C-alpha cells in the first residue's frame, strides 16, 4: 500500500478553486475505512478522523469521547493510519482531529507521526470549548491545565510545520480568540451535536437557528481574517435539504458533516434491509 501525499499548497489550491467555481466544499468525519471509501467515491473533498468517529461507528454518541474512557490521540492515530488513509485512493485528503490537551504527548511528535502517514491537515477536536464556561467541570479542567490556549498553540505549531489548519469552535468568544491567535486556514462553526437517529442529540436549534448563529459568527471572524475558508457543522444540519438551506442563508463555502453522512444513513440502511430479511416467510 502506497498512500498518496498531499501538500498544503495543493489542498488550498483545490479548495479555493472550487470556491471560485461556486461549488460547495464537502468535509466529513468518519470512523471506518468503508465510510471513508464511500465518502471519497461520492466526491467528498476531505475525510476527517477523530476518536469520536470510532466511538460513533461502535454505536456510541461521538461526544462520548469527552468522557475519560480512552486515549483519544492513540485512537485517532490508529484509525487514521490503519483504517482510513489506506482505504481511500487519495482523491480526498485527510484531516486529523488532535486532542491538543493530551498531557502525555508532545504535539511535535503527533504532528510528525501524522505527516509520516500522509496527513497534512489537522483540527483541534476534542476541544475544551464544548464545555459551558460557567460549569464546574469547565472550571476544574482549566485549573488542571486543560485550556483553549493549548489548542491554539497546537494550531500555530502545525501551521509552522506546513500543515493546513482547521478549527471548529462552538461559540463566538472562542471563535474570535482562535482566529485572532492561530490564524487557521479553515474555520468551521460547530453549531452543536447533530440531532436525529438512534443516538442523536436533542438539540433545541432548528435549521433556521443554526443558520442564524452561523451567520453571526461568520460576520465576526471574517473581519479578523479575510481569507478564511468558511464551513458549517452540526445541530440541525442533518439532510441534504438542510445543507442547501445553510448554503442559501449563510456565506458558508461548504459543509462539514459527521453523523449526517455516517451514523444516520447507516442506521437507516441497515434497519431497512435487515427488517426486510426479518420479515421473510418460510414456505
Which pLDDT band holds residue 53 (cuts at 50, 70, 90)? low
Check: CB of residue 126 under 8 Å from CB of residue 168. no
Task: Give the pLDDT confidence of 212-243 residue by residue, as tens digits.
Answer: 999 999 999 999 999 999 999 988 899 999 99
Question: What domains sit in the chain, N to C, each tagged with a CATH number?
Answer: 24-276 (3.20.20.70)
Q: Output the pLDDT for position 200.
A: 59
Task: Give the pLDDT confidence of 113-141 residue by residue, as tens digits.
Answer: 999 999 999 999 999 998 889 999 899 99
Residue 61 has pLDDT above 80, yes or no: no
Q: Output the pLDDT for position 70.
A: 76
The alpha carbon dihedral of 205, 149, 51, 26 has a sign of positive
Q: Output the pLDDT for position 247.
A: 97
Which pLDDT band holds residue 31 (cuts at 50, 70, 90)? confident
Which pLDDT band holds residue 259 (cuts at 50, 70, 90)? confident
Check: CB of residue 61 under 8 Å from CB of residue 55. yes
Q: Output the pLDDT for position 154.
A: 98
Q: Output the pLDDT for position 236.
A: 85
**Phi then psi dihedrals of residue 95, to 5 deg:** -115, 120
In angstroms, the Cα distances linking 161 to 114, 214, 261 are 12, 30, 31
**Phi then psi dihedrals of residue 121, to 5 deg:** -140, 135
Q: Output the pLDDT for position 234.
A: 86
Locus of grid cell 426486510:
276
Percent of the chain with pLDDT over 70: 91
Which pLDDT band holds residue 36 (cuts at 50, 70, 90)? very high
Pairing of strands 25-30, 46-49: parallel
Q: Output the pLDDT for position 203.
A: 67
Task: Give the chain's mean pLDDT.
Answer: 92
Calculate mean pLDDT across residues 9-26: 98
Q: Output the pLDDT for position 50.
A: 81
Which pLDDT band holds residue 49 (cuts at 50, 70, 90)? very high
Amino acid at each position: 500500500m502506497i498512500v498518496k501525499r498531499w501538500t498544503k499548497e495543493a489542498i488550498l489550491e483545490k479548495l479555493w478553486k472550487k470556491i471560485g467555481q461556486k461549488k460547495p466544499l464537502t468535509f466529513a468525519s468518519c470512523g471506518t475505512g468503508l465510510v471513508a471509501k464511500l465518502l471519497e467515491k461520492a466526491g467528498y473533498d476531505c475525510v476527517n478522523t477523530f476518536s469520536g468517529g470510532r466511538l460513533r461507528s461502535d454505536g456510541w454518541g461521538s461526544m462520548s469521547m469527552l468522557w475519560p474512557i480512552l486515549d483519544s490521540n492513540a485512537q485517532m492515530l490508529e484509525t487514521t493510519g490503519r483504517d482510513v488513509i489506506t482505504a481511500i485512493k487519495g482523491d480526498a485528503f485527510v484531516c486529523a482531529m488532535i486532542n491538543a490537551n493530551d498531557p502525555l504527548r508532545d504535539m511535535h511528535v503527533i504532528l510528525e507521526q501524522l505527516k509520516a502517514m500522509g496527513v497534512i491537515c489537522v483540527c483541534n477536536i476534542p476541544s475544551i470549548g464544548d464545555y459551558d464556561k460557567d460549569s464546574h467541570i469547565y472550571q476544574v479542567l482549566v485549573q488542571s491545565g486543560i485550556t483553549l490556549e493549548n489548542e491554539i498553540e497546537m494550531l500555530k505549531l502545525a501551521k509552522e510545520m506546513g500543515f493546513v489548519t482547521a478549527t471548529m469552535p462552538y461559540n463566538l468568544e472562542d471563535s474570535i480568540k482562535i482566529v485572532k491567535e492561530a490564524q487557521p486556514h479553515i474555520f468551521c462553526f460547530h453549531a452543536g451535536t447533530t440531532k436525529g437517529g438512534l443516538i442523536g442529540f436533542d438539540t433545541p436549534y432548528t435549521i433556521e437557528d443554526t443558520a442564524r448563529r452561523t451567520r453571526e459568527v461568520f460576520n465576526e471572524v471574517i473581519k479578523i481574517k479575510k481569507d478564511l475558508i468558511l464551513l458549517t457543522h452540526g445541530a440541525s444540519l442533518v439532510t441534504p435539504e438542510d445543507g442547501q438551506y445553510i448554503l442559501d442563508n449563510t456565506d458558508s463555502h461548504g459543509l462539514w458533516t459527521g453523523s449526517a453522512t455516517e451514523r444516520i444513513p447507516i442506521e437507516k440502511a441497515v434497519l431497512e434491509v435487515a427488517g426486510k430479511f426479518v420479515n421473510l416467510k418460510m414456505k
